[in-house]
Amino acid sequence: MKFLHLSSLALLSATTLLVGCGSDSSENTTTSPNSQTLAPNTQGSGNTTNNLSDATKALGIEVIPSSLSRTYSTSLNFDRYTKVDTPNGKAIHIVAQNQITDNQIVRARSILQSYLAPFPGSKYGEDKSAVANKMSDNGAILMLLNGVDDGSNKAAELDGQPLYYGEMQVEGGQWYIQQDYQHRDASFEEILHLVHDFGIGIDQESEFFGALPEFQADIRAAQINALNSGIWGANQPSWIDELQDENSLSQEYLAALIDVYYGLWGANTQFPHTGMYDIYLPKHRADIRTEDPQGEALLDNSFFLPYLAYNARIDESFKGDFSLKFNASLPYTHHAQYLKDITLTGENPSKVIVNQLNNSITGNSAVNTVIFSGASSEYQITSVDKEVTVVDLVDNRDGTNTLSGIEKLRFTDTEVELSTN
């Protein structure tokens, strides 16, 4: 758990204070990805020049722009860049080193976009433009770094929020499907730190640099209650003292809450009843309401969407059935149940099991099948311009699904082949 925060006006020019925090505290003996040895990733770009493939460019990935390349340089193994444009005409920058895969880059950008996606009718998230603008004004930079957080990567000393290869899962990849906590997915935590510090804002500093002081006041109140009540941070006195000194208590509390909310700890067997390496009492989303009701209030129509608002690119290595529906025998579905839209990549034939979130599913170049819960007579199927819409006529089951590049539909009673013309 690593993050940075603004503490003076000078930091508005993207100079940041990087502090250590989280599960690597002396009081926490949990094994984390940051303590693992990791073989170099051979699926990154390996790019040492400005030559990127057309496939990479099509994903919105570029070479490092000249305005950043002197700092995030090829000598430090930075070779690719992407961004999230903000309404004020600026951008939130994402820089990546040469062993990061393109899918990891896209996923990191997508998670950031999901956090910034509007939440219609919500208290603080109806329009998140001010948060996005603050992030770009305050110089927010996400660094996607090779390896793991073992102190060997010199680029970690640069200004920016670090997120390492060894802690970035990709939907459909081996670490994701197995829910491998040796490579625990820290993407949601670390990217949330960036949004919190540079966009929402942190109190108890000399000045408030964020866009949502009232929301931060709510977060702070929930954090204080959770700490005082033993809901979060119990039996971690040294770590809590460290966070107190860094003014990072509210950031770490919120990260634990959101990790559990999006199902990232449901599959963990080392701590079968708690979340975030036993630091947070709730383990599943349903637990939050009863075990941390003040935390629940931060989620109830407030800022964070109840589903993941990005189109997940299923890793090209994936084969088999990818389930968007929770299945206790499939560990990854603790998390995948909150996905709404996916795109199959690569050339392997796959099947996708829908959930209730009105899925948008895009196939790859192989033969792909979408699997539904009921009999074919319980669905309405329409096709317009190679896009197929399948509407479940039974309430609260499979919803309305929009399909592209899908060859077959499987129902409980039959399989329907779709025209590819």
Contact 83, 136 (CB under 8 A): no
Domain that holds residue 143: 2-299
Q: Report d(CA 337, CA 406) in Å as an integer.
A: 21
Residue 203 and residue 71 share a domain:
yes
Q: Strand (E) positions, 58-195?
A: 78-85, 91-97, 141-145, 161-164
Q: Is the pLDDT of residue 10 over 80?
A: no
Averaged over 320-328, what is the pLDDT?
Answer: 98
Averaged over 142-167, what is the pLDDT?
Answer: 97
Residue 342 and residue 203 share a domain:
no
Amino acid at 45: S
Amino acid at 138: N
- Split at pLDDT 50, 70, 90, the class of 15 is very low
Contact 298, 292 (CB under 8 A): no
Is residue 169 domain-resident?
yes
pLDDT at 110: 99
Residue 159 and residue 26 share a domain:
yes
State phi, psi for 410 to the nearest 5 degrees. -115, 125
pLDDT at 51: 87
Residue 104 and residue 8 share a domain:
yes
Residue among 205, 187, 308, 188 nearest 254 (CA): 188
Is residue 304 domain-resident?
no
Is residue 329 domain-resident?
yes
Which of 266, 299, 332 corresponds to the end of one domain? 299
Q: Is the pLDDT of residue 112 over 80?
A: yes
User: For the segment 277-316, what is each residue's pLDDT rounded down to a tens digit?
Assistant: 999 999 999 999 999 999 999 999 999 999 999 999 999 9
Which of 299, 322, 348 corresponds to the end of one domain? 299
Is residue 88 domain-resident?
yes
- Split at pLDDT 50, 70, 90, the class of 419 is confident
pTM value?
0.90
Is residue 334 domain-resident?
yes
Is residue 47 domain-resident?
yes
Contact 108, 126 (CB under 8 A): no
Which of 299, 324, 353 corresponds to the end of one domain? 299
Residue 112 and residue 43 share a domain:
yes
Averaged over 226-236, what is the pLDDT?
Answer: 97
Q: Is the pLDDT of residue 257 over 70?
A: yes
Q: Is the pLDDT of residue 8 over 50?
A: no
Averaged over 170-187, what is the pLDDT?
Answer: 98
Q: Report d(CA 232, CA 288) in Å as an integer.
A: 12
Residue 270 and residue 148 share a domain:
yes
Number of domains composing the chain: 2
Residue among 402, 404, 397 nearest 374 (CA): 397
Q: E strand or H helix at 346, and its extent?
A: none
Handedness of CA 316, 193, 151, 142 (dihedral sign): positive
104 token code pair? 């990891």
Residue 313 and residue 274 share a domain:
no
Q: DSSP string covering 16-49, please? A: -EEEE-STTSTT-----GGGS--PPPSSS----S
pLDDT at 45: 52
Is residue 27 domain-resident?
yes
pLDDT, mean over the chain: 91
Is residue 41 domain-resident?
yes
User: For the segment 262-277, what is each residue's pLDDT rounded down to a tens digit?
Assistant: 999 999 999 999 999 9
Residue 75 and residue 194 share a domain:
yes
Residue 331 and residue 288 share a domain:
no
* Residues of the chain above pLDDT 90, percent: 87
Residue 333 and residue 245 share a domain:
no
Residue 384 and residue 279 share a domain:
no
Residue 340 and residue 215 share a domain:
no
Amino acid at 74: T
| Separation in Å, CA 367 to CA 146, 352, 406 | 34, 12, 7
Between these two residues, 287 and 12, which has the higher pLDDT value?
287
User: For the segment 44-102, what is each residue's pLDDT rounded down to a tens digit?
Assistant: 554 545 689 999 999 999 999 999 999 999 999 999 999 999 999 999 999 999 999 99
pLDDT at 16: 33
231 token code pair? 């809901």
